[in-house]
Amino acid sequence: MILGVAACAIAAASSAQATAASVGPIRFTVPEGFEFARSGHHDGAEVSAWTKSTGSSKTLLQVTLYDMGATADTSTPQELSHAAQAYLQQFLGGVQRRRTEYSASPVRELRLASGPAASATWTGKIGGVEAVGVMYCAIVRKRYVVIFHTQDIGDAPTPAMLEAMKSIEAATAPPR
């Protein structure tokens, strides 16, 4: 179970230029054209989101941060990798419950912000409209569970989603 909430500091302007942003220990660049949409607490997490309008759709870039406290301090890298995959599956389950005709790719292991991570691409329908998303889960500093999510309409990642994915995959968690 994920417990606690970390403080969120956002350094993001509502301009269309690429902007540096921070969510807890995570540092990343919000791609050009994405505008700050919201930030706040939801279900024990700090959630921050940006959107980019592209014609008739809005691409979402969302970061959700859970603070587990010191509960993972003794975990091995393999245990943390398994935890990232398990949390990813848990959050993909939430996406699945809100979509019809849902399917997901196999989970991919990677490293994000210097921590073990997992990602998957999903497709489904929202109100009858085809949608696609890519979700990542990273365990950062053996303490934070970070969910990165980008989605848009269509059946394959859009150029704006690819920009968001590049930003996510370049995220850092500088030493304290």
Domain at 64, CATH number: 3.40.1000.10
Give the range of the structural domain holding residue 123, as residue numbers without chain letter. 19-169
- In degrees and rounded to multiples of 5, residue 166 shows phi and psi of -60, -40
| Tens-place pLDDT, residues 2-61 | 322 323 333 333 446 889 999 999 999 999 999 999 999 988 899 999 999 988 889 999
Domain count, the chain: 1
Q: Is residue 10 part of a domain?
A: no
CB 52 within 8 A of CB 33: yes
- In degrees and rounded to multiples of 5, residue 94 shows phi and psi of -65, -40
Q: Is residue 84 part of a domain?
A: yes
Q: Is residue 12 part of a domain?
A: no
pLDDT above 70 as % of the chain: 89
- Cα 100 to its chain centre, rounded Å, is 21
| Tens-place pLDDT, residues 20-29 | 999 999 999 9
List the beta bridge partners of residue 45: 42
Q: Is residue 174 part of a domain?
A: no
CB 9 within 8 A of CB 22: yes
